[in-house]
Chain A
Amino acid sequence: MLSCEGADFSKVLKRYDIDLQVEMTPQEMAAKLLPSDPVFHKVAEEVLYMRFKSVGPVVTQALSERNPLDIINNGLVAGMEIVAKLYAEHVYYLPEIMMAAKTMEIGIAIAEKQVPGGLTPKATVIMHAAEGDPHDIGKNIAAVMMRASGYEVIDMGRDVPVVDAVAKAKEVKPLFMSGTALMTTTMTAFPAEAAMLKEAGLEIPLMGCGGAVNREYANSYDLGIYSEKAPQTPIIAQKLLDGYDWKKIREEWDDIVNGA
Chain B
Amino acid sequence: MAVKRYTKMAYACADDMVFGKSLEPISYGFGLKIGAGEVIPEINYAPRAGTEKDPERLRKEYVDYISKDILNRAVTAGFPNVQLETEWVSQMNQAKLSVPVVAGQKEICEKYHEEYGVNCAVRQTIPDQREAEEGLRPGMGGSHAYPEKLFECAEIACENGADNLSCESVGGKEFADYAVTNGDIVGFLFGVGYLGSIDMTYIWQEFSEIAKKNKCVAGGDTNCSGANVSMFMAGGFLDNDVQKTFSAVTRCISAARTLAAWESGAVGPDKDCGYEGVICKAIAGKPTAQEGKNCQCAHCDLQGNLIAQCCDLWSNESVEYHPEFGGTSVQCWFGSIAYEAALMNTATQLGQAKTLRDMYMYADRYRGPEAYVLAYDHAYMVGQAIAENGDDLYLRAKAAGLTGAKIILQGYESKELGLTNKQLETLQDIIKKLEELPDDTDKFYEYCCKEYKDTVPLFNPKSYDL
Contact indicator A188/B242 (Cβ below 8 Å): no
Query: In the complex, which residues of chain A have a beta carbon less than 8 angstroms from the beta carbon of B241?
Result: 93-94
Q: Are B181 and A141 in contact (CB under 8 A)?
A: yes
When the two chains form their complex, are residues B240 and A4 in contact, meaning their CB atoms are under 8 A apart?
A: no
Which of B15, B131, B177, B366 is A9 in contact with, Cβ under 8 Å? B366
| A90 with B51: CB separation less than 8 A | no
Confirm or deny: B310 has a beta carbon within 8 angstroms of a beta carbon on chain A.
no
| In contact, B359 and A2 (Cβ under 8 angstroms) | yes
Query: Binary interface profile of B, 219-251, with partner A (CB < 8 Å = 1, else 0)?
Result: 000000000010001000110111110000000
Interface size on B, residues (CB 8 A): 50
Closest partner residue, chain A, to B423 (CB atom) = A17
Shortest Cβ gap from B245 to chain A (Å): 11
Smallest Cβ-Cβ distance to B358: which chain A residue: A2
| Known A-B contacts A9-B366, A95-B183, A159-B144; A188 and B422 likewise in contact (beta carbons under 8 Å) | no
Task: State which of A17, A87, A94, A134 has its C-beta within 8 Å of the C-beta of B181.
Answer: A94
Residues facing A in B132-189 (CB within 8 A) are 133, 144, 170, 177, 180-184
A17-B368, A94-B233, A185-B51 as given contacts; A140 in contact with B181, CB under 8 Å: yes
B242–A15 touching, CB < 8 Å: no
Cα of A101 to Cα of B85 in the assembled complex, Å: 41
B270 within 8 Å of A (CB atoms):
no
CA distance A187 to B362 in the complex (A): 40
Q: Can you list, as one digit per residue, whether each of B54-77 has a CB less than 8 Å from chain A (1) or not (0)? A: 000000000000000000000000
The secondary-structure label for the interface of chain A is loop
B47 within 8 Å of A by Cβ? yes
Chain A nearest CB: distance from B450 CB in Å?
15
Q: What per-residue 1/0 map shows which CB atoms of A74-99 lie under 8 Å from chain B?
A: 00000000000001001011110011
Stretch at the interface among A18-26, A40-48, A110-118, A233-241: A18-26
Q: In which size bucket is the chain A interface?
A: 35 or more
B418 interface contact, C-beta 8 A: yes
Verify if B12 is at the interface (C-beta below 8 Å from A): no
Query: Whose C-beta in chain A lies nearest to the C-beta of B242?
Result: A94
Bound-state Cα–Cα, A234 to B133, Å:
28
User: Which of the listed residues B49, B184, B243 has the most CB atoms from chain A within 10 Å of its own CB?
Assistant: B49
Contacts of B47 in A (CB 8 A): 184-185
Q: Which residues of A contact B95 (CB under 8 A)?
A: none
Complex CA distance for A141 and B229, rounded to whole angstroms: 13
Closest 3 pairs between A and B when the two form their complex, measured CB to CB: A95-B183, A132-B90, A2-B358
